[in-house]
Amino acid sequence: MLFDVLPGLAQTVPWRPLARLPTAVEPCDAIRDWLGRSGVFMKRDDLASPLYGGNKVRRYEFVLADAAARGSKRIVTVGGLASTQAMATALFGHALGFDVCMVLFDQPMTDFARDALLGFAASGAEIVHGGGYLMTALRTMKAMRRVPGSYLILPGAANALANLGYVDAMLELAGQVERGEAPRPDAIVLPTGSSGTLAALALGAAWLGWNTEIIGVRITSTLACNRFTIDRIVRNTDRFLERHDARWKAMRGRVNYSIYGGALGRGYGYPTPEALEGAERVRDLTGASGEVTYSGKALAALHELARKPAYRDKTLLLWNTLSTPRPALVPGAEARLPPSLRKLVTSTS
Ligand SMILES: *Cc1c(COP(=O)(O)O)cnc(C)c1O
């Protein structure tokens, strides 16, 4: 684990265990025919917690510990109507005894978004309908002001502290490769938004001296996700690590990531035919439905990349970032939603 190789971090950085690690690495046998090849594996972070898996839980081991260390009792988070981050904040935040308030911005309504809203309602979190981006920002500030000392988690929580979770995840994978449980991947494919996960995996690989290419499947606009924004996150996280433990300087390789922009379609959360198909394949892989924002687009990109001459003979690894466990639907939960969100839920069911 990261704390074993960088003990300076363990002494200074807040951390609370939440995830069930390590997550397995398995071949993508269930979609081999669809991909048209073997040699494609997946990292089962979808099962990183029986409460709620996906890529937020490793990050929240640091983020929620930080909130507690600062003495906050309440967390305010911001996300889309189908936000996995809002879900993770509600479930893990409540598990650790925080009050949770979420401010939700509009995104295309889908079955997944409807279930997410019902899950938020059932969680007991305070729910604010933010609306568009500007109103969401204003309502977030208002929600923060209402209870002094509240802890804010912005979309993606892509700060250096949170990113430690995926630097550590890369070391976890290296351990599995070393023990012969999985081949070393030539490329890792994952959906990327705020890009904290991508940046952290790329840093972890560089530290190991692996030349593995980390391929971020862009699920949001180029404005929010590009080489400039990602390089900045890489740099901040790199400096943070170096500041906390000089051994980090022993990094052996160079940061090697790329951005795949061909799956986005009209924008964040918008379905494309390929993403809808990808979401179906997520069900084949994990047994739980996929969605079009993240997992469907990642699968669409994987499908495309797996056949490209440059990758055809390479070992690929899909990093599963969407939780397979989902909160159970509670009858009548929609009554706890603000009216404008309740209307969205009932008009699409
Ligand atoms: C949050 C999330 C991502 C994006 O992770 P970033 O670190 O913000 O790039 C990808 N997939 C799923 C399922 C997510 O919930």
Mutate to test the pocket of ligand 1, among 83, 190, 294 (most ligand atoms within 8 A of CB): 294
* CB of 193 shorter than 6 A to ligand 1: yes
Place 252 in a pLDDT band, splitting at 50, 70 and 90.
confident
Q: Rounded to whole angstroms, how far apart are CA atoms 39 and 316?
A: 6
Place 157 in a pLDDT band, splitting at 50, 70 and 90.
confident
The candidate with the shortest Cα–Cα distance to 25, out of 48, 4, 56, is 48
Name 134's Cβ contacts closer than 8 Å, sequence gap at least 6: none
User: How high does pLDDT run on average in the chain?
Assistant: 96
Place 53 in a pLDDT band, splitting at 50, 70 and 90.
very high
Which residue lies with its CA nearest to atom 10 of ligand 1? 191
* CB of 79 shorter than 6 A to ligand 1: no
> Does pLDDT of 146 surpass 70?
yes
> Does pLDDT of 347 surpass 90?
no
Q: pLDDT per residue over 127-141, tens digit each? A: 999 999 999 999 999
Prediction pTM value: 0.97
Q: pLDDT per residue over 294-330, tens digit each? A: 999 999 999 999 999 999 999 999 999 999 999 999 9
Cis peptide before 22 (omega within 30 of 0): yes
- Side chain identity, residue 302: L
Place 348 in a pLDDT band, splitting at 50, 70 and 90.
low
* CB of 323 shorter than 6 A to ligand 1: no
> Does pLDDT of 229 surpass 90?
yes
Rounded percentage of the chain residues whose pLDDT exceeds 70: 99
Q: pLDDT per residue over 269-297, tens digit each? A: 999 999 999 999 999 999 999 999 999 99
Residue 84 Cα to ligand 1 middle (Å): 8
Cross-sheet strand order for the sheet of 74-80: 126-131, 99-105, 74-80, 151-153
Residue 87 Cα to ligand 1 middle (Å): 12
Domains of the chain: 2-55+158-320 (3.40.50.1100), 57-157+332-347 (3.40.50.1100)
Task: Locate 37 and state its tokens.
Answer: 């090849």
Residue 195 Cα to ligand 1 middle (Å): 8
* CB of 290 shorter than 6 A to ligand 1: no
The candidate with the shortest Cα–Cα distance to 295, out of 284, 283, 282, is 282
Please report the pLDDT score of residue 349 as a whole number: 52
- Catalytic positions, written as ranges: 83
Please report the pLDDT score of residue 251 as a whole number: 76
Q: pLDDT per residue over 77-113, tens digit each? A: 999 999 999 999 999 999 999 999 999 999 999 999 9
> Does pLDDT of 175 surpass 90?
yes
